[in-house]
């Protein structure tokens, strides 16, 4: 059931990118889709019974092989940071387009720039 909700989030973002005409809404839809993909990756990578690989007094008694792999965590953090930077870059591009165009509708911008 949780997989279906995450997949629905990805699809909502995908269809928002396709069907929305406002550029800001396209950026928000892309962020929703990115969040769904990250949530799906976390859902697939999570397993019960694993502990973080931090050495302490209590973790000395845990047998080897039950530690969670830190690489997927680093990949997800990197994906979040890259997604945030891409979103910020797209918003700056939309701000520059808004200076020259009275609207942020993609069809109107295409009409104005293809004369």
Q: What percent of the chain has pLDDT over 90?
A: 50
Q: How far apart are CA 83 and CA 86, in angstroms?
A: 5
Q: How far apart are CA 98 and CA 93, in angstroms?
A: 9
* pLDDT averaged over every residue in the chain: 86
Cβ of 48: how many Cβ atoms within 10 Å? 4
At 20-48, the pLDDT tens digits run 999 999 999 999 999 999 999 988 887 77
Report the pLDDT value the prediction gives residue 57, as an integer from 0 to 100.
Answer: 64
Are the C-beta atoms of residues 16 and 25 closer than 8 Å to each other?
yes
Name the DSSP class of 22.
Answer: B
**pTM over 0.95, yes/no:** no
Q: How far apart are CA 47 and CA 25, in angstroms?
A: 35
Whether pLDDT at 65 is above 90:
no
Q: Is 75 in a helix, a strand, or coil?
A: helix
As assigned by CATH, the class of the 2-113 domain is mainly alpha
Give me the residue spans of the domains in the chain: 2-113
Higher confidence at residue 52 or residue 99? 99
Report the pLDDT value the prediction gives residue 89, as an integer from 0 to 100.
Answer: 96
Phi, psi (rounded to 5 degrees) for 51? -120, 160
Whether pLDDT at 91 is above 90:
yes
């Amino acid at each position: 059931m949780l997989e279906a909700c995450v997949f629905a989030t990805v699809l909502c973002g995908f269809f928002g990118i396709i069907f929305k005409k406002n550029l800001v809404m396209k950026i928000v839809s892309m962020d929703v889709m990115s969040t769904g993909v990250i949530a799906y990756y976390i859902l697939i990578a999570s397993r019960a019974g694993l502990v973080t690989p931090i050495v302490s007094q209590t973790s000395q008694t845990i047998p080897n092989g039950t530690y969670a792999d830190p690489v997927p965590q680093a990949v997800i953090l990197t994906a979040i940071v890259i997604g945030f930077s891409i979103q910020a870059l797209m918003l700056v591009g939309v701000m520059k387009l808004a200076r020259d165009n009275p609207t942020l509708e993609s069809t109107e911008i295409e009409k104005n720039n293809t004369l």
